[in-house]
Amino acid sequence: MTGRFGFGAAAVAVALAAAALAGDGARPAAAEGATAGAEGAAAGAEVPFGFRHDASQPVEVSADRLRVSQTDGSATFSGNVVVGQGDMRLSAAEVRVEYATEPAAPGETRGRTRIRRLHATGGVTIVSGAEAAEAREAVYSIDEARVVMTGEVILTQGPNVLAGDRLTVNLADGTALIEGRVRTVLQPGATR
């Protein structure tokens, strides 16, 4: 069974975003209460989501360390990693960047290299506007404009909190699907 919920933006997501970007590991009380909240009977819940953005924008990364592998064409950023693309921010302990090489254009000897996928692990937090999600790991497939977060997922949208095992975000249309024993705390009177 899939339900559709709409939530507004407020202080909980802003507090989570500030804590995540500050790197102090703090989690707002509403997020802590998500697992103790009302147990959802549904196996999944689809929600409108504010993580819609243009995936063609440049990706900026900052971290304490960078390890590059010529063997598999990847780069691994570790230690206080923050990845930004447009107004979306991802923070994690480690992010592996996988590249793809496009075919060479006529007259060129090599094709252009671009980021294909980001795999983040270790306390992953994604913030976009006033919405935030956190999990143990996340995979951002840039070509598909999709983020899949797994492991103790918590999504905050204003004063409302949703928790589950897996969150799939479609960045193109701004929707998300939460699966795996969905739990929620809904605040009466919350606006969309």
pLDDT tens sequence across 15-38: 233 333 333 333 333 333 333 333
Question: Which residues, 6+ apart, have CB-to-CB distance to 42 below 8 Å?
Answer: 1, 2, 3, 182
Fill in the DSSP letter of residue 52: -
CA distance 61 to 81: 7
Span 162-189, pLDDT tens digits: 999 999 988 888 888 999 989 987 777 7
| pTM for the model | 0.69
Alpha carbons 95 and 112: distance in angstroms, whole number: 22
Task: Give the strand pairing for 74-85 and 44-48.
Answer: unpaired
For domain 2-185, the question of CATH label 2.40.50.140 is answered with no
Highest mean pLDDT among 37-41, 57-61, 86-90, 149-153: 149-153
Q: Are 125 and 134 in contact (CB under 8 A)?
A: yes
Contact 140/165 with Cβ under 8 angstroms?
no
